[in-house]
Amino acid sequence: MGIWPVFFDGYRLEKKSEDKAVENFQQIDNKALQEEALKELNSLIGLNKVKEIIRELYALSQLQIRRKKEGLSTDPIVLHMIFKGNPGTGKTTVARILGKLLKSIGVLEKGHVVEVERADLVGEYIGHTAHRVRENVKKALGGILFVDEAYSLARGGEKDFGKEAIDTLVKEMEDNRNKFILILAGYKHEMEYFLSTNPGLHSRFPIQIDFPDYTVDELLQIAEVMVKSRQYKLTESAKKKLMKFLIYDDNSREMGNARLVRNIIERAIRKHAVRVLNKANITKEDLITIDSIDIRED
């Protein structure tokens, strides 16, 4: 009989050792994820105010966890958010970084981002919409549900199923409290009108972040980062021509920001390929140099 306690004690010690090893591995893994996300955040061009708010949310969440471990009082943090800004201003990118950061400290179990729009949520008949919303929330549990052009859910009047989508989202926020984060995103003015049509929504989204349009200088920096990551470079004349395309009317809301830059650069790389391939002798410098002739708007 005396051997059994020793056996079980050994088992418990071994199990405890395994649990500790798993915990250490998770800590290392989360630390790496944290460093990766912070590096991505800091590398973003511009968006200084946005970065500041994300760092505040990250620090507050981390501190609340530590306070709880020490037996100190903690206030529940509601992390559902509104992202307001024009296309290409970094809203989706920041949501992905936020997911990683909150996963790294244990606020989110998985930290993934499920991206949807009206067509993914609104059904064609009664009951269909609620099912679609619940299915997407289910996919987002442990992470972030990112609804782009969320204001479109309020279009169509009382008989439109978009209202049902909003009501179901609100219910899911309550039923799955602290299990996922809902981010509604879209144009600034449209999102403000959207919130005004449903007073109850405003209080459910205490964090509202404005994503400003990039300046022309910032867009040029983004272009240089894009070409460098693909192992190309822009000549000075190419930069000047690109800047001409990026100078726009401040009131224009269809400019596209970083999205426009990406489209121009990708088009330039295609034009560059055709131009270089027609040369008799192709050098390494030819392979990496994008010139002004390659920069075209259409």
Digit-coded pLDDT (tens) for 96-151: 999 999 999 999 999 999 999 999 999 887 778 999 999 999 999 999 999 999 99
User: Can you state the angle between helices 258-277 and 216-229, rounded to 10 degrees?
Assistant: 50
One-letter amino acid of 71 = G
pLDDT band at 8 (very low <50, low <70, confident <90, very high): low
Does the pLDDT of residue 249 top 50, yes or no? no
What is the band of 23 on the pLDDT scale with cuts at 50, 70, 90? very low
Give the pTM: 0.83
Tell me: pLDDT of 6 over 50: no
Specify the higher pLDDT residue, 247 or 277. 277
Mean pLDDT score of the chain: 87
Q: What angle do CA 88, 91, 93 make, to 5 degrees?
A: 90
What's the topology of domain 216-294?
Helicase, Ruva Protein; domain 3 (1.10.8)
Residue 154 banded pLDDT, cuts 50, 70, 90:
confident
Contact 258, 90 (CB under 8 A): yes
pLDDT tens-digit map of 209-248: 999 999 889 999 999 999 999 999 999 999 999 988 887 6
Q: Classify strands 113-116 and 207-211 as parallel, antiparallel or unpaired.
A: unpaired
Topology of domain 31-210 in CATH is Rossmann fold (3.40.50)
Question: How is the chain split into domains, by residue range?
Answer: 31-210, 216-294
292 band by pLDDT with thresholds 50, 70 and 90: very high
According to the 3-state scheme, what is the secondary structure of the chain?
Answer: CCHHHHHHHHHHHHHHHHHHHHHHHHHHHHHHHHHHHHHHHHHCCCCHHHHHHHHHHHHHHHHHHHHHHCCCCCCCCCCCEEEEECCCCCHHHHHHHHHHHHHHCCCCCCCCEEEECHHHHCCCCCCHHHHHHHHHHHHHCCCEEEECCHHHHHCCCCCCCHHHHHHHHHHHHHHCCCCCEEEEEECHHHHHHHHHHCHHHHHHCCEEEEECCCCHHHHHHHHHHHHHHCCCEECHHHHHHHHHHHCCCCCCCCCCCHHHHHHHHHHHHHHHHHHHHCCCCCCHHHHHEECHHHCCCC
pLDDT at position 298 is: 66
Cα 100 to Cα 111: distance, rounded to the nearest angstrom:
5
